[in-house]
Amino acid sequence: MAFPHQRPQDLAERVARRRLARGESPSDTWRRESFTLPRAEARTKAREWFDRFPKAAYSTEIEFWRELEDGRIEFTMRRLPTAD
């Protein structure tokens, strides 16, 4: 079945409604967040993610990171619940 002239947001909203109807919360899916923090705060934030979403239950990783000219760290954290 094709859905002509629909935007990607329409698809995302439809999928979100289906997940809610099945009783899944938005936190049951993958999540990605980006941060730009001083080095010490970046380490603390990454550690918070690894502590809150341990590898045993989630696929948590630092997807990308780089050091900016001013010494701050820009990084993206990603997590996905495991299928266990």
Would residue 36 count as lying in a domain? yes
Is 2's pLDDT higher than 70? no
Would residue 23 count as lying in a domain? no
Which pLDDT score, from 0 to 100, does residue 23 have?
63
* Count of the separate structural domains present in the chain: 1
C-alpha pair distances (Å), 78 with each of 1, 4, 26, 63, 64: 32, 32, 15, 6, 9
Cβ contact 15:29 at 8 Å: no
Is 12's pLDDT higher than 80? no
Task: For 66-76, write each residue's pLDDT tens digit.
Answer: 999 999 999 99
Would residue 61 count as lying in a domain? yes
Task: For 17-70, write each residue's pLDDT tens digit.
Answer: 876 776 666 555 678 899 999 999 999 999 999 998 887 777 888 999 999 999
Would residue 82 count as lying in a domain? yes
Which pLDDT score, from 0 to 100, does residue 3 have?
59
- Domain housing 55: 30-84
